[in-house]
A and B are shown apart, each in its own frame.
Chain A
Amino acid sequence: MIHLHSPQQLCPEFSSYIGIGIQGNASQRHIGILFRNNKEDKPKLLHLAFHLRLKCDSYEKFNNDYFWLICPNLDDDEQLQLASHVKSVFDKNQNRIPYGLAYSSIGSFDSDGTLIENSKNLGLTCATFVMALFNDFGFPIIDTDSWELRADDTIWQNHIINCMKDDRKTHPQIYSETHIDEQIKNIGIASRFKPEEVAASAHIFEEKPIIFQEAESFGKCLLSKMGIN
């Protein structure tokens, strides 16, 4: 069952190395990964804010905004490994992760370990970034093959394309000529992994990847606990 904590409970209740933070409303949610290398420290929130903007927020910046869950089925060693890995990913890859609609189960990295390059017109969302962090570490939280397309996916995907177009006006230098056009081709084709589904999957994952029906159901439950219907 989903055990969601409210934002105000984070400290001192958060006693793990790893957790999932989620915020938002009915139309848009955002997800990130809570991490720390030392239990005496306050957790930070790593999240893919948008195109080429991987952010690591301090506790003071995010603590009142995010609901959170722990990953109770990862033991302390696994959590500390993942937390250290997450920190290194941020340190070495800030501003290098493109935003995109299509997610491949190979994760966010090419087979030689380098992050997917902007020039390849691929990318991640905030939710698939969290999936990729787990998956590439040997914790495949979601069974991507089981995923189904839904009617409202296209609405969201079009909204994201419009956001990218707006963003390109402000930051034209960070978009390749074809990046947005390539994303448009994914509308109605690419699976959408919703933040609440990824959050719930990371929360309940033990060993077997969570299939679509389970994730969708737990995702709805999580939204309900967030007061979103």
Chain B
Amino acid sequence: MLNQLTVANSTKTYRENEVSSEIRKDYIVAVIAKGSTEIPLFFKPTYAEKILTRSTSKAIHSIEKELKQWTLDLFNKEETEAIDPANFINKEAKSHLNQIYSYDKSSDSKALSYMFDLIEEAFSKHDLLLVDALLSNIDLVRTRKIVFIGLLRGTYRARSKLKSWNSCALQISKFLDSNGENTKRLLRGLNQFNDSFTLTSTTMS
């Protein structure tokens, strides 16, 4: 886990040793990523470019300022969360979901194909965290019901190990109810063997 002290010390090292202009991108990445097994998702190529092209002490000062600001950003904004492994997965899931929303605008089966390929790939790699993140992050307003119900059906077989499955099913059930859909019909079969997921009272009436 990246800590504030690591970044602060790194900044200090740059200033005291007057690091040469040959500041390498991978060195910066290594310093920032210290304590993390992954290269941070939040590393911005544009920022790296700035670092690579600066050679004067003014530039070093500027880097220090930017690093400080960046540090503040890291600990104050959502980028901080990106360091948490769970948030890496959420970011990955959101990225896939954005692709699904984009494909779904064309109203053909491309979004479904992409989604089911993703689910099967994840299952084949035992990557339940990604599947769970898809369930917990899907935006029902941004996609058609064929897609979000498809997500529920495509993951149904592993529902007992997906902590977000029931809550997603319930959320979808309420959403369909509120849109005047025949929820019971649309979600038929999905509560067959499930103790905790029950359709809403409106649905059952």
Residue among B126, B145, B150, B188 making CB contact with A112, cutoff 8 Å: B126
A50 at the interface (CB under 8 A from B): no
A22 at the interface (CB under 8 A from B): no
A5 at the interface (CB under 8 A from B): no
Residue among B122, B128, B149, B157 making CB contact with A77, cutoff 8 Å: B149
Residue among A38, A81, A137 making CB contact with B108, cutoff 8 Å: A38
Q: Which B64-85 residues have C-beta < 8 A from chain A?
A: none
Q: Which A59-84 residues have C-beta < 8 A from chain B?
A: 77, 80-84
Q: What is the number of contacts between chain A and chain B, taking CB atoms within 8 Å? A: 92
- Residues of B near A91 (CB, < 8 A) are 117, 120
A27 at the interface (CB under 8 A from B): no
Provide 14 A-B residue pairs closer than 8 Å at the C-beta atoms, listed in order of the A residue.
A81-B149, A81-B153, A81-B154, A84-B109, A84-B113, A84-B115, A92-B120, A92-B121, A112-B161, A113-B128, A114-B124, A115-B124, A137-B157, A138-B188
Contacts from A to B (Cβ < 8 Å):
37-38, 77, 80-85, 87-89, 91-93, 107, 109, 111-115, 136-140, 207
Supposing A77-B149, A112-B126, A113-B131 touch, asked if A85 and B154 sit within 8 A by C-beta, the answer is yes
A68 CB → nearest B CB, Å: 21
Contacts from B to A (Cβ < 8 Å):
108-109, 112-113, 115-117, 119-124, 126, 128, 131, 145-146, 149-150, 152-158, 160-161, 188-190, 192
| Interface residue SS majority, chain B | helix
- Residues of A near B189 (CB, < 8 A) are 137-140, 207
A117 CB → nearest B CB, Å: 11
Task: Determine whether the beta carbon of B156 is less than 8 Å from that of A137.
Answer: yes
Cα A114 to Cα B121 with chains together (Å): 10
